[in-house]
Protein backbone atom coordinates (compact mmCIF):
# COMPACT_ATOMS: atom_id res chain seq x y z
CA UNK A 1 0.00 0.00 0.00
CA UNK A 2 1.35 3.46 -0.95
CA UNK A 3 2.11 5.95 1.82
CA UNK A 4 -1.04 7.59 3.17
CA UNK A 5 -1.59 10.37 5.69
CA UNK A 6 -2.32 9.35 9.27
CA UNK A 7 -5.95 10.40 8.91
CA UNK A 8 -6.61 7.92 6.08
CA UNK A 9 -4.71 5.15 7.85
CA UNK A 10 -6.80 5.71 10.97
CA UNK A 11 -10.06 5.75 8.97
CA UNK A 12 -9.12 2.52 7.20
CA UNK A 13 -8.28 0.87 10.51
CA UNK A 14 -11.60 1.89 12.06
CA UNK A 15 -13.51 0.56 9.05
CA UNK A 16 -11.61 -2.72 9.37
CA UNK A 17 -12.49 -2.95 13.05
CA UNK A 18 -16.12 -2.27 12.19
CA UNK A 19 -16.03 -5.10 9.64
CA UNK A 20 -14.57 -7.51 12.21
CA UNK A 21 -17.27 -6.59 14.72
CA UNK A 22 -20.15 -7.05 12.27
CA UNK A 23 -18.63 -10.31 10.97
CA UNK A 24 -18.36 -11.75 14.47
CA UNK A 25 -21.89 -10.62 15.31
CA UNK A 26 -23.16 -12.41 12.19
CA UNK A 27 -21.43 -15.62 13.29
CA UNK A 28 -19.04 -15.69 10.34
CA UNK A 29 -15.39 -16.70 10.39
CA UNK A 30 -12.79 -14.90 8.30
CA UNK A 31 -12.64 -17.98 6.07
CA UNK A 32 -16.39 -17.97 5.45
CA UNK A 33 -16.36 -14.29 4.54
CA UNK A 34 -13.32 -14.88 2.31
CA UNK A 35 -15.21 -17.55 0.38
CA UNK A 36 -18.19 -15.24 -0.08
CA UNK A 37 -16.07 -12.47 -1.62
CA UNK A 38 -13.71 -14.77 -3.56
CA UNK A 39 -10.61 -13.88 -1.54
CA UNK A 40 -8.46 -15.77 0.95
CA UNK A 41 -8.60 -15.62 4.74
CA UNK A 42 -5.25 -13.77 5.00
CA UNK A 43 -6.58 -10.92 2.85
CA UNK A 44 -9.68 -10.62 5.06
CA UNK A 45 -7.39 -10.42 8.09
CA UNK A 46 -5.37 -7.63 6.48
CA UNK A 47 -8.54 -5.71 5.56
CA UNK A 48 -9.82 -5.94 9.14
CA UNK A 49 -6.48 -4.62 10.40
CA UNK A 50 -6.52 -1.75 7.92
CA UNK A 51 -3.47 -3.02 6.04
CA UNK A 52 -5.18 -3.73 2.73
CA UNK A 53 -7.66 -1.79 0.63
CA UNK A 54 -10.83 -3.36 -0.70
CA UNK A 55 -13.12 -2.22 -3.51
CA UNK A 56 -16.81 -1.33 -3.49
CA UNK A 57 -17.89 -4.81 -4.53
CA UNK A 58 -16.15 -6.29 -1.49
CA UNK A 59 -17.84 -3.88 0.90
CA UNK A 60 -21.23 -4.42 -0.73
CA UNK A 61 -21.03 -8.19 -0.32
CA UNK A 62 -19.49 -7.89 3.17
CA UNK A 63 -22.24 -5.49 4.24
CA UNK A 64 -24.89 -7.95 3.03
CA UNK A 65 -23.29 -11.09 4.47
CA UNK A 66 -22.48 -9.46 7.81
CA UNK A 67 -25.98 -7.91 8.08
CA UNK A 68 -24.51 -4.43 8.57
CA UNK A 69 -27.60 -2.63 7.18
CA UNK A 70 -25.49 -0.32 5.01
CA UNK A 71 -23.05 0.79 7.73
CA UNK A 72 -20.03 -0.84 6.10
CA UNK A 73 -20.90 0.59 2.68
CA UNK A 74 -21.36 4.04 4.21
CA UNK A 75 -17.99 3.76 5.96
CA UNK A 76 -16.33 2.78 2.69
CA UNK A 77 -17.97 5.70 0.86
CA UNK A 78 -16.75 8.15 3.52
CA UNK A 79 -13.26 6.71 3.26
CA UNK A 80 -13.30 7.08 -0.52
CA UNK A 81 -14.37 10.72 -0.26
CA UNK A 82 -11.54 11.42 2.19
CA UNK A 83 -9.07 9.64 -0.10
CA UNK A 84 -10.26 11.56 -3.17
CA UNK A 85 -9.84 14.85 -1.31
CA UNK A 86 -6.33 13.84 -0.27
CA UNK A 87 -5.43 12.74 -3.84
CA UNK A 88 -6.77 15.99 -5.27
CA UNK A 89 -4.74 18.06 -2.83
CA UNK A 90 -1.69 15.93 -3.49
CA UNK A 91 -2.02 16.31 -7.27
CA UNK A 92 -2.36 20.07 -6.95
CA UNK A 93 0.82 20.17 -4.89
CA UNK A 94 2.68 18.00 -7.39
CA UNK A 95 1.43 20.10 -10.30
CA UNK A 96 2.56 23.28 -8.61
CA UNK A 97 5.99 21.83 -7.96
CA UNK A 98 6.25 20.58 -11.54
CA UNK A 99 5.38 24.01 -12.93
CA UNK A 100 7.98 25.64 -10.75
CA UNK A 101 10.60 23.13 -11.87
CA UNK A 102 9.69 23.68 -15.53
CA UNK A 103 10.04 27.42 -15.13
CA UNK A 104 13.49 27.01 -13.58
CA UNK A 105 14.59 24.67 -16.37
CA UNK A 106 13.26 27.00 -19.05
CA UNK A 107 15.70 29.62 -17.87
CA UNK A 108 18.78 27.46 -18.45
CA UNK A 109 17.77 24.88 -21.12
CA UNK A 110 17.10 25.64 -24.75
CA UNK A 111 13.71 24.37 -25.94
CA UNK A 112 15.46 22.76 -28.91
CA UNK A 113 17.05 20.26 -26.52
CA UNK A 114 13.65 19.12 -25.28
CA UNK A 115 11.30 19.06 -28.31
CA UNK A 116 12.20 19.00 -32.01
CA UNK A 117 11.43 22.42 -33.50
CA UNK A 118 11.09 23.74 -37.00
CA UNK A 119 13.40 26.46 -38.27
CA UNK A 120 11.74 29.78 -39.06
CA UNK A 121 11.92 28.96 -42.75
CA UNK A 122 11.64 25.18 -43.05
CA UNK A 123 12.14 23.17 -46.19
CA UNK A 124 9.57 20.40 -46.84
CA UNK A 125 12.01 17.63 -45.89
CA UNK A 126 12.89 19.39 -42.63
CA UNK A 127 9.19 19.47 -41.68
CA UNK A 128 8.81 15.81 -42.59
CA UNK A 129 11.84 14.84 -40.51
CA UNK A 130 10.49 16.57 -37.40
CA UNK A 131 7.10 14.89 -37.80
CA UNK A 132 8.81 11.53 -38.34
CA UNK A 133 10.75 11.94 -35.09
CA UNK A 134 7.58 12.86 -33.22
CA UNK A 135 5.82 9.70 -34.44
CA UNK A 136 8.81 7.34 -34.35
CA UNK A 137 7.88 3.77 -33.45
CA UNK A 138 9.77 0.55 -32.81
CA UNK A 139 6.60 -1.52 -33.20
CA UNK A 140 4.83 -1.27 -36.55
CA UNK A 141 1.73 -2.92 -38.02
CA UNK A 142 3.54 -6.17 -38.88
CA UNK A 143 4.55 -6.71 -35.24
CA UNK A 144 1.02 -6.00 -34.02
CA UNK A 145 -0.45 -8.39 -36.58
CA UNK A 146 1.98 -11.12 -35.52
CA UNK A 147 1.15 -10.60 -31.84
CA UNK A 148 -2.58 -10.83 -32.56
CA UNK A 149 -2.03 -14.09 -34.43
CA UNK A 150 0.13 -15.60 -31.68
CA UNK A 151 -2.36 -14.58 -28.97
CA UNK A 152 -5.27 -16.11 -30.87
CA UNK A 153 -3.28 -19.33 -31.36
CA UNK A 154 -2.60 -19.55 -27.63
CA UNK A 155 -6.28 -18.95 -26.82
CA UNK A 156 -7.20 -21.73 -29.25
CA UNK A 157 -4.76 -24.12 -27.51
CA UNK A 158 -6.39 -23.59 -24.10
CA UNK A 159 -8.85 -26.46 -24.54
CA UNK A 160 -6.24 -29.21 -24.86
CA UNK A 161 -2.68 -28.07 -24.12
CA UNK A 162 -0.82 -28.73 -20.86
CA UNK A 163 -1.65 -25.84 -18.51
CA UNK A 164 1.86 -25.11 -17.24
CA UNK A 165 3.33 -25.15 -20.75
CA UNK A 166 0.63 -22.89 -22.15
CA UNK A 167 1.00 -20.46 -19.27
CA UNK A 168 4.78 -20.32 -19.78
CA UNK A 169 4.30 -19.44 -23.46
CA UNK A 170 1.70 -16.79 -22.65
CA UNK A 171 4.02 -15.25 -20.05
CA UNK A 172 6.87 -15.23 -22.57
CA UNK A 173 4.83 -13.16 -25.02
CA UNK A 174 3.56 -10.93 -22.23
CA UNK A 175 7.16 -10.12 -21.29
CA UNK A 176 7.96 -9.40 -24.93
CA UNK A 177 5.06 -6.95 -25.14
CA UNK A 178 6.20 -5.33 -21.90
CA UNK A 179 9.54 -4.62 -23.57
CA UNK A 180 7.81 -3.05 -26.58
CA UNK A 181 5.77 -0.80 -24.28
CA UNK A 182 8.96 0.63 -22.76
CA UNK A 183 10.27 1.56 -26.19
CA UNK A 184 9.01 3.97 -28.83
CA UNK A 185 5.45 3.49 -30.04
CA UNK A 186 2.52 5.62 -31.11
CA UNK A 187 -0.49 6.12 -28.86
CA UNK A 188 -2.56 3.83 -31.07
CA UNK A 189 0.12 1.13 -30.93
CA UNK A 190 0.42 1.55 -27.15
CA UNK A 191 -3.30 0.90 -26.72
CA UNK A 192 -3.20 -2.07 -29.09
CA UNK A 193 -0.31 -3.62 -27.17
CA UNK A 194 -2.25 -3.21 -23.92
CA UNK A 195 -5.33 -4.87 -25.46
CA UNK A 196 -3.26 -7.86 -26.59
CA UNK A 197 -1.78 -8.01 -23.08
CA UNK A 198 -5.31 -8.01 -21.66
CA UNK A 199 -6.23 -11.14 -23.63
CA UNK A 200 -3.03 -12.88 -22.56
CA UNK A 201 -3.64 -12.03 -18.90
CA UNK A 202 -7.21 -13.37 -19.15
CA UNK A 203 -5.85 -16.60 -20.63
CA UNK A 204 -3.24 -16.90 -17.88
CA UNK A 205 -5.92 -16.36 -15.23
CA UNK A 206 -8.07 -19.16 -16.67
CA UNK A 207 -5.11 -21.54 -16.72
CA UNK A 208 -4.18 -20.65 -13.14
CA UNK A 209 -7.70 -21.38 -11.97
CA UNK A 210 -7.70 -24.71 -13.82
CA UNK A 211 -4.49 -25.58 -11.98
CA UNK A 212 -6.12 -24.77 -8.63
CA UNK A 213 -4.13 -21.58 -8.06
CA UNK A 214 -7.07 -19.44 -7.01
CA UNK A 215 -5.19 -16.47 -5.58
CA UNK A 216 -3.02 -16.08 -8.68
CA UNK A 217 -6.07 -16.46 -10.90
CA UNK A 218 -7.86 -13.72 -8.97
CA UNK A 219 -4.90 -11.37 -9.36
CA UNK A 220 -4.73 -12.05 -13.11
CA UNK A 221 -8.46 -11.46 -13.45
CA UNK A 222 -8.16 -8.12 -11.65
CA UNK A 223 -5.18 -7.09 -13.82
CA UNK A 224 -7.13 -7.88 -16.99
CA UNK A 225 -10.08 -5.85 -15.73
CA UNK A 226 -7.81 -2.83 -15.15
CA UNK A 227 -6.40 -3.16 -18.65
CA UNK A 228 -9.95 -3.25 -20.01
CA UNK A 229 -10.80 -0.11 -18.06
CA UNK A 230 -7.69 1.80 -19.12
CA UNK A 231 -8.10 0.93 -22.80
CA UNK A 232 -11.89 1.26 -22.85
CA UNK A 233 -12.14 -2.34 -24.06
CA UNK A 234 -15.53 -3.55 -22.85
CA UNK A 235 -15.07 -7.14 -24.01
CA UNK A 236 -11.95 -7.66 -21.87
CA UNK A 237 -13.82 -6.20 -18.90
CA UNK A 238 -16.79 -8.49 -19.62
CA UNK A 239 -14.58 -11.59 -19.71
CA UNK A 240 -13.06 -10.61 -16.38
CA UNK A 241 -16.61 -10.53 -14.96
CA UNK A 242 -17.22 -13.93 -16.59
CA UNK A 243 -14.19 -15.28 -14.72
CA UNK A 244 -15.64 -13.91 -11.47
CA UNK A 245 -18.93 -15.65 -12.24
CA UNK A 246 -17.06 -18.89 -12.94
CA UNK A 247 -15.08 -18.59 -9.70
CA UNK A 248 -18.26 -17.94 -7.72
CA UNK A 249 -20.11 -20.85 -9.34
CA UNK A 250 -17.41 -23.43 -8.68
CA UNK A 251 -16.87 -22.20 -5.12
CA UNK A 252 -20.55 -22.35 -4.21
CA UNK A 253 -21.34 -18.63 -4.08
CA UNK A 254 -24.30 -19.14 -6.39
CA UNK A 255 -26.14 -15.92 -5.54
CA UNK A 256 -23.21 -13.81 -6.75
CA UNK A 257 -23.12 -15.37 -10.23
CA UNK A 258 -26.09 -13.37 -11.52
CA UNK A 259 -24.55 -10.08 -10.34
CA UNK A 260 -21.27 -10.79 -12.15
CA UNK A 261 -23.14 -11.90 -15.27
CA UNK A 262 -25.22 -8.73 -15.30
CA UNK A 263 -22.14 -6.52 -14.88
CA UNK A 264 -20.34 -8.34 -17.70
CA UNK A 265 -23.32 -8.04 -20.04
CA UNK A 266 -23.45 -4.29 -19.42
CA UNK A 267 -19.73 -3.93 -20.16
CA UNK A 268 -20.00 -5.52 -23.63
CA UNK A 269 -23.68 -5.98 -24.55
CA UNK A 270 -23.13 -6.62 -28.27
CA UNK A 271 -20.46 -9.32 -28.01
CA UNK A 272 -20.68 -13.09 -27.71
CA UNK A 273 -19.43 -13.07 -24.13
CA UNK A 274 -23.02 -12.29 -23.04
CA UNK A 275 -23.89 -15.83 -24.14
CA UNK A 276 -21.22 -17.27 -21.84
CA UNK A 277 -22.46 -15.04 -19.02
CA UNK A 278 -26.01 -16.30 -19.59
CA UNK A 279 -24.69 -19.86 -19.40
CA UNK A 280 -23.04 -19.19 -16.04
CA UNK A 281 -26.29 -17.70 -14.73
CA UNK A 282 -28.22 -20.76 -15.95
CA UNK A 283 -25.77 -23.12 -14.22
CA UNK A 284 -26.17 -21.21 -10.95
CA UNK A 285 -29.97 -21.18 -11.25
CA UNK A 286 -29.93 -24.95 -11.82
CA UNK A 287 -27.95 -25.51 -8.64
CA UNK A 288 -30.30 -23.25 -6.71
CA UNK A 289 -33.24 -25.42 -7.74
CA UNK A 290 -34.82 -22.96 -10.20
CA UNK A 291 -35.74 -25.01 -13.30
CA UNK A 292 -38.04 -22.34 -14.77
CA UNK A 293 -35.27 -19.76 -14.52
CA UNK A 294 -32.88 -22.24 -16.17
CA UNK A 295 -35.16 -22.68 -19.18
CA UNK A 296 -35.76 -18.93 -19.47
CA UNK A 297 -32.04 -18.10 -19.30
CA UNK A 298 -31.08 -20.88 -21.74
CA UNK A 299 -33.74 -19.75 -24.23
CA UNK A 300 -32.50 -16.17 -23.99
CA UNK A 301 -28.89 -17.28 -24.32
CA UNK A 302 -29.66 -19.30 -27.43
CA UNK A 303 -31.47 -16.28 -28.91
CA UNK A 304 -28.43 -14.10 -28.21
CA UNK A 305 -26.19 -16.73 -29.78
CA UNK A 306 -28.18 -16.50 -33.00
CA UNK A 307 -27.35 -12.80 -33.29
CA UNK A 308 -23.65 -13.53 -33.87
CA UNK A 309 -22.00 -14.88 -36.99
CA UNK A 310 -20.24 -18.23 -36.87
CA UNK A 311 -16.60 -17.48 -35.90
CA UNK A 312 -13.70 -18.45 -38.14
CA UNK A 313 -11.89 -20.05 -35.19
CA UNK A 314 -14.54 -21.35 -32.78
CA UNK A 315 -11.90 -23.19 -30.74
CA UNK A 316 -10.75 -19.83 -29.31
CA UNK A 317 -11.61 -19.96 -25.60
CA UNK A 318 -12.89 -16.36 -25.71
CA UNK A 319 -15.24 -16.98 -28.64
CA UNK A 320 -18.71 -18.49 -28.18
CA UNK A 321 -20.33 -20.54 -30.93
CA UNK A 322 -23.26 -23.02 -31.20
CA UNK A 323 -21.00 -26.01 -30.50
CA UNK A 324 -20.17 -24.70 -27.03
CA UNK A 325 -23.85 -24.17 -26.29
CA UNK A 326 -24.38 -27.94 -26.09
CA UNK A 327 -21.82 -27.99 -23.29
CA UNK A 328 -23.61 -25.30 -21.28
CA UNK A 329 -27.06 -26.81 -21.77
CA UNK A 330 -25.77 -30.27 -20.83
CA UNK A 331 -24.69 -29.09 -17.38
CA UNK A 332 -27.99 -27.35 -16.65
CA UNK A 333 -30.23 -30.21 -17.77
CA UNK A 334 -28.17 -32.70 -15.75
CA UNK A 335 -28.67 -30.66 -12.58
CA UNK A 336 -32.43 -30.14 -13.01
CA UNK A 337 -32.92 -33.86 -13.76
CA UNK A 338 -33.86 -33.70 -17.46
CA UNK A 339 -31.70 -36.73 -18.17
CA UNK A 340 -32.70 -37.39 -21.77
CA UNK A 341 -31.81 -33.86 -22.86
CA UNK A 342 -28.64 -33.87 -20.75
CA UNK A 343 -27.49 -37.15 -22.34
CA UNK A 344 -28.32 -35.89 -25.83
CA UNK A 345 -26.18 -32.79 -25.33
CA UNK A 346 -23.40 -34.85 -23.69
CA UNK A 347 -23.13 -37.19 -26.70
CA UNK A 348 -22.99 -34.15 -28.99
CA UNK A 349 -20.20 -32.62 -26.87
CA UNK A 350 -18.21 -35.85 -27.16
CA UNK A 351 -18.79 -35.98 -30.92
CA UNK A 352 -17.55 -32.46 -31.60
CA UNK A 353 -14.69 -32.86 -29.10
CA UNK A 354 -13.27 -35.93 -30.87
CA UNK A 355 -10.33 -35.74 -33.27
CA UNK A 356 -10.15 -38.08 -36.28
CA UNK A 357 -7.73 -40.33 -34.35
CA UNK A 358 -10.25 -40.71 -31.52
CA UNK A 359 -8.48 -38.46 -28.98
CA UNK A 360 -10.16 -35.48 -27.34
CA UNK A 361 -9.39 -32.03 -28.65
CA UNK A 362 -11.38 -30.52 -25.77
CA UNK A 363 -10.59 -32.88 -22.86
CA UNK A 364 -12.06 -30.70 -20.11
CA UNK A 365 -15.44 -30.50 -21.85
CA UNK A 366 -15.29 -34.19 -22.74
CA UNK A 367 -14.62 -35.03 -19.08
CA UNK A 368 -17.76 -33.22 -17.97
CA UNK A 369 -19.76 -34.87 -20.77
CA UNK A 370 -18.67 -38.31 -19.56
CA UNK A 371 -19.57 -37.45 -15.98
CA UNK A 372 -22.97 -36.31 -17.26
CA UNK A 373 -23.46 -39.67 -18.96
CA UNK A 374 -22.36 -41.39 -15.74
CA UNK A 375 -25.01 -39.42 -13.87
CA UNK A 376 -27.81 -40.18 -16.34
CA UNK A 377 -26.88 -43.89 -16.53
CA UNK A 378 -26.79 -44.14 -12.75
CA UNK A 379 -30.23 -42.51 -12.48
CA UNK A 380 -31.52 -45.21 -14.86
CA UNK A 381 -30.07 -47.89 -12.58
CA UNK A 382 -27.27 -48.85 -15.01
CA UNK A 383 -24.41 -48.78 -12.49
CA UNK A 384 -21.98 -50.65 -14.74
CA UNK A 385 -22.26 -48.02 -17.49
CA UNK A 386 -22.06 -45.24 -14.90
CA UNK A 387 -18.85 -46.73 -13.51
CA UNK A 388 -17.36 -47.04 -17.01
CA UNK A 389 -18.18 -43.42 -17.91
CA UNK A 390 -16.73 -42.29 -14.58
CA UNK A 391 -13.41 -44.10 -15.19
CA UNK A 392 -13.15 -42.60 -18.67
CA UNK A 393 -13.90 -39.11 -17.36
CA UNK A 394 -11.27 -39.22 -14.61
CA UNK A 395 -8.53 -40.53 -16.92
CA UNK A 396 -8.05 -37.20 -18.74
CA UNK A 397 -4.73 -35.46 -18.06
CA UNK A 398 -5.92 -31.90 -18.82
CA UNK A 399 -8.24 -30.87 -15.98
CA UNK A 400 -9.94 -27.79 -14.58
CA UNK A 401 -9.54 -28.46 -10.87
CA UNK A 402 -12.48 -26.65 -9.28
CA UNK A 403 -14.82 -27.39 -12.18
CA UNK A 404 -14.00 -31.10 -11.94
CA UNK A 405 -14.35 -31.09 -8.16
CA UNK A 406 -17.80 -29.51 -8.44
CA UNK A 407 -19.20 -31.87 -11.08
CA UNK A 408 -17.58 -35.07 -9.77
CA UNK A 409 -18.78 -34.33 -6.25
CA UNK A 410 -22.33 -33.87 -7.61
CA UNK A 411 -22.16 -37.31 -9.27
CA UNK A 412 -20.82 -38.81 -6.05
CA UNK A 413 -23.57 -37.25 -3.92
CA UNK A 414 -26.33 -38.33 -6.31
CA UNK A 415 -25.01 -41.89 -6.31
CA UNK A 416 -25.02 -42.06 -2.53
CA UNK A 417 -28.51 -40.54 -2.42
CA UNK A 418 -30.04 -43.04 -4.84
CA UNK A 419 -28.11 -46.15 -3.77
CA UNK A 420 -27.02 -45.55 -0.16
CA UNK A 421 -26.30 -49.22 0.63
CA UNK A 422 -25.51 -50.79 -2.73
CA UNK A 423 -21.86 -52.00 -2.83
CA UNK A 424 -21.91 -51.82 -6.63
CA UNK A 425 -21.74 -48.03 -6.35
CA UNK A 426 -18.19 -48.28 -5.01
CA UNK A 427 -17.01 -48.54 -8.62
CA UNK A 428 -18.35 -45.01 -9.06
CA UNK A 429 -17.77 -43.32 -5.72
CA UNK A 430 -14.30 -44.65 -4.89
CA UNK A 431 -12.54 -43.44 -8.09
CA UNK A 432 -14.21 -40.05 -7.61
CA UNK A 433 -13.12 -39.87 -3.97
CA UNK A 434 -9.55 -40.73 -4.96
CA UNK A 435 -9.51 -38.15 -7.77
CA UNK A 436 -10.90 -35.43 -5.48
CA UNK A 437 -8.34 -36.25 -2.80
CA UNK A 438 -5.50 -36.03 -5.35
CA UNK A 439 -6.77 -32.69 -6.68
CA UNK A 440 -7.06 -31.20 -3.18
CA UNK A 441 -3.64 -32.53 -2.22
CA UNK A 442 -2.00 -31.21 -5.38
CA UNK A 443 -3.67 -27.80 -5.18
Sign of the four-CA dihedral 68, 71, 75, 81: positive
- CB contact at 8 A, 222 and 244: no
Task: State the first-to-last Cα distance of the chain, in angstroms, to the nearest integer.
Answer: 29
227 closest CA partner among 152, 174, 182: 174
Instruction: Check residue 3 and give its pLDDT.
Output: 56
Q: How far apart are CA 381 and CA 71, in angstroms?
A: 53
pTM: predicted TM-score of the whole model, two decimal places: 0.67
Per-residue DSSP letter, 421:
T
Count of H-run helices and E-run strands, the chain: 20, 0
Instruction: Check residue 336 and give its pLDDT.
Output: 94
Q: How far apart are CA 128 and CA 111, in angstroms?
A: 19
Instruction: Check residue 96 and give its pLDDT.
Output: 60
Q: How far apart are CA 316 and CA 271, in angstroms?
A: 14
Q: Which helix (H) or strand (E) holds 275?
A: helix 273-287
Instruction: Check residue 110 and give its pLDDT.
Output: 38
- CB contact at 8 A, 280 and 297: no
Instruction: Check residue 7 and give its pLDDT.
Output: 80
Q: Which residues of the chain have pLDDT under 70?
A: 1-4, 87-88, 90-136, 440-443
Q: How far apart are CA 11 and CA 13, in angstroms?
A: 5
Instruction: Check residue 384 and give its pLDDT.
Output: 96
Instruction: Check residue 107 and give its pLDDT.
Output: 45
Instruction: Check residue 1 and give its pLDDT.
Output: 44
Instruction: Check residue 102 and give its pLDDT.
Output: 47
Amino acid sequence: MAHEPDELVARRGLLGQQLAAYRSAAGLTQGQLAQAVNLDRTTISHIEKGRTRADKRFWRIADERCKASGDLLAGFAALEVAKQNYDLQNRETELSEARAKAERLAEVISPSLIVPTLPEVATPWETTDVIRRLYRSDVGSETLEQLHMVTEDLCCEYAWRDGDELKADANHWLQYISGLLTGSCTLKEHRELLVISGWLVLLIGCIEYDLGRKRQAGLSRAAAFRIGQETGHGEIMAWSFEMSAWFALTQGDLAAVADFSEAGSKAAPNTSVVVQLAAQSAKAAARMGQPEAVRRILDNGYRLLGQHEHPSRPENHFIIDPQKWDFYAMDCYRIVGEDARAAEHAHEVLRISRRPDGTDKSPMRATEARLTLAMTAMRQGDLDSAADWTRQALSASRKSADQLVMVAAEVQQETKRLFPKDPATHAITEPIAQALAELRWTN
